Amino acid sequence: MPAKILDGAQLAQTMQVEMKAEVEELLRQGRPRPGLAAVLVGTDPASQVYVKNKCLACEKVGIQSFKKELPEQTTQAELLALVEELNRDPAVHGILVQLPLPKHIDTLAVIRKISPLKDVDGMGPESTGLLAAGTPRFLPCTPAGVQQLLVRNGIDVTGWHAVIIGRSNIVGKPLALMLLRDAADGNATVTVCHTRTGWSPQTGKVDIEKLQALTRQADLLVAAAGRTPKLITADWIKPGAVVVDVGIHRLAPKKLCGDVDFDSVKEVASTITPVPGGVGPMTITMLLRNTIASARAFL
């Protein structure tokens, strides 16, 4: 039987309707409207689209967005000064600096400048440390979206073996920490794979069968490698597994696919996310959720 499809677009829509009601309730109580500042440096077309979509999503749920567009030649000092100004602005509850930044800017220094209380992207050192300690404040948006997709579809990973392909700071690593937590949405046993999984010093090569031996043990497999379209085929999957595909590859101007070969894997897995329409729409939704949570915490 083909796998059940986890519809991220639908869930994102549902959650945004819930958040709109939550914002309206805050306003009825006389509380300030939640506000998100989105900072964009330069004219990278993809980044422009991402920021525009984030601001549009804010509007949909009633969050005030403050779009700050700076020219490519903005200096690091100027950018840090803007972040400082936003840190002090009481109408701003969340600050998002769209990455990548131009090469002459030290990205880490900018992320560190964001007030930990407004770090709604969950990428700063305090957010990361709190997550590692098992007491998160703001969860990074993409792994939080993965977790919500599971929870809101009644998938309990307690006692499961979760295998994550990818160890980036933005997806794989924080997701591993989230699934490990002693919490209702955690308690999995987690294996994190990366480009050196299956590495042999003798041959100087990676033995992909060693990676596949791990993925075949996965009750939950999360693919966040982003290198090879449709890398993961049916023979990598334990029958009945839940498969979440974070990867995004553009095959043609309007044709996207993931790290997972959806057509073959859906015949083996019990549950699977599509690309597009799976994890992607959940990411922005989690940013909105963090911003509302931040506004509540400020009160």
Q: State the residue number with the nearest CB to ligand NAD.
A: 226
Selecting among 16, 64, 98, 148, the annotated active-site residue is: 98
Nearest to 283 by CA among 67, 69, 139, 137: 139
Please choose, out of 23-31, 51-59, 176-184, 194-202, the segment that lies near ligand NAD by the rule CB under 6 A.
194-202
CB-side neighbour CA atoms (13 Å) of 187: 10
Binding residue for ligand NAD, selected from 35, 136, 140, 280, defined by CB under 6 A: 280
Of the pair 51, 193, the CB lying nearest ligand NAD is at 193
Of the pair 86, 272, the CB lying nearest ligand NAD is at 272
Please choose, out of 109-117, 150-158, 187-195, 290-298, the segment that lies near ligand NAD by the rule CB under 6 A.
187-195
Binding residue for ligand NAD, selected from 113, 137, 167, 238, defined by CB under 6 A: 167
Nearest to 152 by CA among 260, 268, 62, 285: 285
Binding residue for ligand NAD, selected from 42, 186, 226, 277, defined by CB under 6 A: 226
Q: Least distance in Å: CB of 73 to ligand NAD?
A: 26
* Site membership for ligand NAD, residue 8 (CB under 6 A): no
Looking at the DSSP bridge assignments, the partners of residue 94 are: 36
Spatial CB neighbours of 116, under 8 Å, sequence gap ≥ 6:
124, 126, 127, 137
Q: Label each residue of 226-291 as H, E or C.
A: CCCCCCECHHHCCCCCEEEECCCEEEECCEEECCECHHHHCCCCCEECCCCCCCHHHHHHHHHHHH
CB 287 within 8 A of CB 280: no
Binding residue for ligand NAD, selected from 225, 260, 268, 286, defined by CB under 6 A: 225
Q: Least distance in Å: CB of 236 to ligand NAD?
A: 11
**What are the two backbone dihedrals, phi and then psi, of residue 45, each rounded to the nearest 5 degrees?**
-60, -40
CA 170 to chain centre: 7
Spatial CB neighbours of 112, under 8 Å, sequence gap ≥ 6:
124, 125
Binding residue for ligand NAD, selected from 270, 283, 290, 291, defined by CB under 6 A: 283
Catalytic residues: 54, 98, 121
Binding residues for ligand NAD (CB under 6 A): 142, 165-168, 170-172, 193-195, 197, 211, 224-227, 246-248, 279-280, 283
